[in-house]
């Protein structure tokens, strides 16, 4: 029937219009919230895009540039000490000397290889820290649903993460190798056979420095220099 005697139809139409408006506003607010979260996520991903393989490669280079010079300097000093020791015993240009230099070089190369591995480990640790920060920002973005705020936090945090950190200096890498050689020489002085008398490891004159190789250094084919 078409009449609206008591205004019920009009009231129902008004209610329907209000309900429709409320539904539209509610859906619009949710759509905006979703868009804000999505924009914040994009801002975070863009801010963290700088932490790419080149970034970590530069970090590894910085790590190597920090520690390799220390290793190089220690090796140079150890080499000089070894030369002095060997020359003092008169075995500088000998198989004994060659063996000692080779062992020292092996220690040097192994140390450099180890530092290269540590650089990779440090880069991995840094990558994990950065990823944790990214997770924190994702959580903040979802909670705030404010893309501008999330972008500001992302920029601030990413900048602070880019600052290089300080690292402690290397320990002495070659002292054990040099001490081992020195201990060997001391022990060999009491065990020498042939050539007459104990060998003074600090002797510089000719005639000193002959020795028979022991199992410490292995090999029975070491040549000696007379």
49 binds another protein (CB under 8 A): no
User: Residues 150, 144: contact at Cβ < 8 Å?
Assistant: yes
Q: How far apart are CA 43 and CA 41, in angstroms?
A: 5
184 binds another protein (CB under 8 A): no
Q: How far apart are CA 73 and CA 67, in angstroms?
A: 10
Residue 114 or 164: which CB sits closer to another protein?
Answer: 114
DSSP conformation letters of 82-144: HHHHHHHHT-TTSHHHHHHHHHHHHHHHHHHHHHHHHHHHHHHHHHHHHHHHHHHHHHHHHHH
Binding positions for another protein, 97-136, rule CB under 8 A: 97-99, 101-106, 108-117, 119-121, 124, 127-128, 131, 134-135
User: Residues 56, 127: contact at Cβ < 8 Å?
Assistant: yes
Stretch that binds another protein, among 92-100, 147-155, 168-176, 190-198 (CB under 8 A): 92-100
Residues 8-47: x where in contact with another protein by CB under 8 A, - otherwise, as a string: xx-xx--xx-xxx-xx--xx--x--xx--xx--x------
What lies within 8 Å, CB to CB, of 29 at 6+ separation is none
- What minimum distance in Å lies between the beta carbon of 190 and another protein? 26
User: Residues 220, 88: contact at Cβ < 8 Å?
Assistant: no
Q: Which residues bind another protein (CB under 8 A)?
A: 1, 5, 8-9, 11-12, 15-16, 18-20, 22-23, 26-27, 30, 33-34, 37-38, 41, 60, 64, 68, 72, 75-76, 79, 83, 86-87, 92-95, 97-99, 101-106, 108-117, 119-121, 124, 127-128, 131, 134-135, 138-139, 142, 223, 225
């Amino acid at each position: 029937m078409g009449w609206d005697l008591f205004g019920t139809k009009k009231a129902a139409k008004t209610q329907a219009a209000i309900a429709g408006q409320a539904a539209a506003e509610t859906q619009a607010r949710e759509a905006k919230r979703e868009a804000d979260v999505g924009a914040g996520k994009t801002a975070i991903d863009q801010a963290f895009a700088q932490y790419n393989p080149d970034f970590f490669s530069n970090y590894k280079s910085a790590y190597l540039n920090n520690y390799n010079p220390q290793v190089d300097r220690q090796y140079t000093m150890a080499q000089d000490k070894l030369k002095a020791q060997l020359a003092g015993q008169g075995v500088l240009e000998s198989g004994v000397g060659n063996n000692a230099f080779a062992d020292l070089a092996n220690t040097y190369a192994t140390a450099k290889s180890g530092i290269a591995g540590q650089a990779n480990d440090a880069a991995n640790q840094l990558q994990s820290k950065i990823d944790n920060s990214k997770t924190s920002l994702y959580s903040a973005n979802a909670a705030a649903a404010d893309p501008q705020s999330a972008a500001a936090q992302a920029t601030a945090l990413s900048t602070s993460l880019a600052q290089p950190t300080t690292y402690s200096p290397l320990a002495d890498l070659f002292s054990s190798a040099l001490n081992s050689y020195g201990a060997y020489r001391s022990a060999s002085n009491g065990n020498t056979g042939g050539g007459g008398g104990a060998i003074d490891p600090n002797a510089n004159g000719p005639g000193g420095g002959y020795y028979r190789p022991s199992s410490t250094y292995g090999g029975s084919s070491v040549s000696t220099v007379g």
